[in-house]
Amino acid sequence: MEREFFLLFSTVATGSGFLVVLAKNPIHSALALVTCFVQIAALFILLGSPFLAVIQIFVYVGAIMVLFLFVIMMLDVRKEARSRFLTKGAPLGFLVILVLAAEMFFLLTRNAVFSTNIVDGVPTTPSIKELGLTLFSEYLLPFEVASVILLVALIGAVVLAKTEEDDTATKDELAGGVVK
Amino acid sequence: MGMSYGMENFIAILPLLVKMAVVVFVLLLLPLPLTWIERKIAAHIQQRPGPMRVGWHGLLQPLADAIKLLTKEDHIPTDADRLLFRMAPVVALVPPFVVFVAIPFGEPVRLFGVDITLSMSNMNVGLLFILAVSGIGVFGVILAGWASNSKYAVLGSLRSIAQMISYEIPMGFSVIGVVMLANSMNLSDIVAAQSGVWNIVYQPIGFFVFFVAGLAEAQRIPFDLPEAEGDLGAGYHTEYSGIRFSLFALSEYLVVVILAILNVLLFFGGWQHSPFFLTPSLWFLLKIGFFIWVFMWFRFTFPRYRYDQLMTIGWKVLLPLSLLNILVSGIFMF
């Protein structure tokens, strides 16, 4: 039973992954990506980690992809669909992908850290409590560093948006002054 | 050998299949009584009789409406993205059904010598699962708005995205107090933790934030800006008619039912403390009914907020309140 479900989810995930790249319309690409994320969440459930699955849906599907769609909906999609992404850089893009593929192959086959074998002693169905405790004791520093990085990105976005707003405000003030 | 193995498998999942069938059947039929009740509540609040002609006090009116909706012309605008236009109502309908996988309806029952749990999956992250899956519901709205290729629909769905994202945060934060009290995200455990006192006593702020954010997530009055008929036609489903429109209406009713269930489970003791004349599950259903009634009563009592007010309430009132609630709960528990 599990095998059949794995085949179903992985096939749909790979197929929708291809569709992300192949679809002409950005909205269709984004939706294919949503499908892909949901399938990956299903794979997490098959692996006995419902927590990761739920977080995957929460963060990637519920937040990030919704924001993606929000931005895409503001664009002129018809125009975007006609223009090609990377008109000249296709060979360069191919090269980058080749390097990434080689890297992935090397890490999976040669490096023990990325070994796909499950280490002994790790419970097959970890509880949220254990996850939380490990995150806040053993991996506290990386966890905090990640949150600081996110905070910096957030502040950066606010600063970028804020200066633009100030510019328009001064223009409006100027315009108002002229009228007065 | 393979045959008997398959048979054993089938018997093992038979209770699950029966439960799925019951839930799907009930959920598909539920909007019929709910529309009648909603129209009657609206009518009595506005001092008029409401539907009276089809059946006793208009009881068969929903059936007549259903027949009307099913036989109406199914119209798709010329410039619409036809595939997404057809998909959107289904995408809107699936998440409310999926949420019911994690909802328990009572203690396990013993039937024919087998213990049967009154939930499809008693997962340890049940609460998180429900919040995450109900968040996907917004995709139906987004797709409908975008695929219709109409100004009103796009504006409605843009509003809806901003609203859903803004209110998901206080909603998620408001239940953290409940999780802290129960030491678990499992809904059965959360109900069991309320065997002494209901959570509403310890978590009044949490309940307030959850209730208001829930109204906004369900896009009901006073937060129904995505489909504000005054300024947007009908918002994201302006271009929908007939059966596709009724699928949207169905999913909106189910979201109300889910919110009522969550309010009862998280803050009003679930099936605990049932009076002697009711079984725990019936007592639970009665409380759910009460909350559905409250949601409908609100709809005809409050005016709609302006969009900037909506954002102010979400970010400047509910979010700080929910954070304060976590802080206070933490101090008390410490």
Omega of the bond leading into B222 within 30 degrees of 0 (cis) = yes
0.85 surpassed by complex ipTM: no
Give the contacts of A31 (CB within 8 A, at least 6 positions apart). B84, B139, B143
Question: Rounded CA gap, B15 and B28, in Å?
Answer: 20
Count of domains forming chain A? 3
Whether residues A8 and A75 share a domain: the answer is yes
Judge whether A4 is closer than 8 Å to chain B, CB to CB: no
Who among B135, B139, B185 is closest to A128 (CB)?
B185
Task: Specify if A10 maps to a domain.
Answer: yes
- Inter-chain CB proximity A57 and B142 less than 8 Å: no
Chain B nearest C-alpha distance from A173 (Å): 22
Chain A interface includes B9 (CB < 8 A): yes
Which residues of chain A are within 8 Å of residue B164 when distances are taken between CB atoms?
A: 66
User: What's the CATH number where A27 sits?
Assistant: 1.20.120.1200
φ/ψ of residue B5, rounded to 5: -60, -45
pLDDT tens-digit map of B183-204: 888 888 888 888 888 888 888 9
Of A31, A54, A127, the CB nearest to B129: A54
Alpha helices in A75-127 (DSSP H): 77-82, 90-110
- Domain assignment of residue A27, yes or no: yes
As to burial, measured by CB atoms within 10 angstroms (0-12 exposed, 13-18 middle, 19+ buried), residue B283 is buried
- Taking CB atoms and an 8 Å limit, are B128 and A27 in contact across chains? no
Same domain for A32 and A2, yes or no, is: yes
Looking at residue A8, its pLDDT comes to 93
**Residues in chain B with pLDDT < 70?**
1-6, 113, 228-233
Query: Three-class SS string for chain B?
Result: CHHHHHHHHHHHHHHHHHHHHHHHHHHHHCHHHHHHHHHHHHHHHCCCCCCCCCCHHHCCHHHHHHHHHHHCCCCCCCCCCHHHHHHHHHHHHHHHHHHHHHCCCCCCEEECCEEECCCCCCCCCHHHHHHHHHHHCHHHHHHHHHHHCCHHHHHHHHHHHHHHHHHHHHHHHHCHHHHHHHCCCCHHHHHHCCCCCCHHHHCHHHHHHHHHHHHHHCCCCCCCHHHCHHHHCCHHHCCCCHHHHHHHHHHHHHHHHHHHHHHHHHHCCCCCCCCCCCCHHHHHHHHHHHHHHHHHHHHCCCCCCCHHHHHHHHHHHHHHHHHHHHHHHHHHHC
CB atoms within 10 A of CB A89: 11
Q: Does A133 fall in a domain?
A: no
pLDDT value at residue B324: 93
Token pair for residue A114? 């990325």
User: Is residue A8 domain-shared with residue A50, that is, in the same domain?
Assistant: yes
Shared domain check, A169 and A105? no
Q: How many CB pairs under 8 A join A and B?
A: 68
Nearest Cα of chain B lies from the Cα of A107 at a distance, in angstroms, of 33
pLDDT computed for residue B14 by the predictor: 82
CA distance B334 to B326: 12
Q: Residue B135's pLDDT is what?
A: 84
Chain centroid to Cα B104, Å, comes to 15
Give the chain A residue nearest B123 (alpha carbons): A50
In chain A, what residues touch B143 (CB-CB under 8 Å)? 31
Please report, as a single letter, which amino acid is at residue A155. I
Q: For helices B126-136 and B151-174, what crossing angle results, to 10°? A: 170
Q: Are residues A117 and A43 in the same domain?
A: no
**In one letter, which amino acid is A67?**
L
For an interface test with B, give the residue of A19, A58, A61, A130 to mutate (most B CBs within 10 A). Answer: A58
d(CA B300, CA B305): 14
Facing B161 at nearest CB: one of A31, A51, A66: A66
Q: Which of B79, B120, B125 is the best residue to mutate to test the A interface, defined by the most A CB atoms within 10 Å of its own CB?
A: B125
Segment A41-71, tens digit of pLDDT: 999 888 878 888 899 998 898 888 888 888 8
- The residue among B133, B149, B150 with the most chain A CBs within 10 A of its CB, best to mutate, is B133
* One domain, residues A23 and A5: yes
Is pLDDT of A167 > 60? Answer: no
Query: Touching check for B135 and chain A: CB below 8 Å?
Result: yes
Residue of chain B minimizing CA distance to A125: B124
In 3D space, the residue among A27, A176, A9, A105 whose CA is nearest the CA of residue B139 turns out to be A27
Residue A149 belongs to what domain range?
Answer: 139-180
pLDDT at A144 over 90: yes
Per-residue pLDDT, A33: 93
Residue A134 counted as domain residue: no
Distance, in Å, from the CA atom of B232 to the CA atom of A43, rounded to the nearest integer, reads 41
Q: What is the dihedral of CA B146, B147, B150, B152, to 10 degrees?
A: -50
Partner-chain residue, chosen from A28, A51, A62, that has the shortest CB–CB distance to B136: A62
- The Cα A65–Cα A84 span in angstroms is 22
Question: Is the same domain home to A90 and A66?
Answer: no
Q: Quick one: A172 and A149 in the same domain?
A: yes
Residue A7 confidence class, pLDDT cut points 50, 70, 90: very high
Long-range CB contacts for residues B309-317, cutoff 8 Å, separation at least 24: B310/B163, B310/B166, B310/B216, B310/B223, B310/B225, B311/B162, B311/B166, B313/B212, B314/B163, B314/B166, B314/B167, B314/B169, B314/B170, B314/B213, B314/B216, B315/B166
For residue B305, report the phi and psi dihedrals to the nearest 5 degrees: -75, 160
Whether residue A53 is contained in a domain is answered as yes
Let me know if residue A131 belongs to a domain: no
Instruction: Indicate whether A79 and A35 sit together in one domain.
Output: yes
Q: Is residue A130 part of a domain?
A: no
Closest residue on chain A to B167 (Cα): A63
A151, A110: one domain: no
Contact of B300 with B44, CB cutoff 8 Å: no
pLDDT of the residue at B1? 41
User: Per-residue confidence at A176, pLDDT binned at 50, 70, 90?
Assistant: very low
Cα–Cα nearest to B329, from B190, B180, B183, B130: B180
Whether the Cβ atoms of residue B224 and residue B217 lie closer than 8 Å to each other: no
CA distance B142 to B88: 8
pLDDT on residue A180: 37
- A69–B128 CB contact, under 8 Å: no
Q: Which of A28, A50, A62 sits opposite B125 (nearest CB)?
A: A50
Please tell me the distance from the alpha carbon of residue B60 to that of residue B39, in angstroms, as a whole number: 13
Query: Tokens 């995408």 label which residue?
Result: B91
> Which of A34, A50, A54 is the closest to B139 by Cβ?
A34
Q: Are residues A4 and A28 in the same domain?
A: yes
Residues A9 and A78 in one domain: yes
pLDDT tens figures, A109-142: 776 666 655 555 555 556 777 888 888 888 899 9
The residue of chain A nearest to residue B131, with distances taken between CA atoms, is A58
For residue B208, the model assigns a pLDDT of 93
Distance, in angstroms, between B129 CA and closest chain A CA? 6
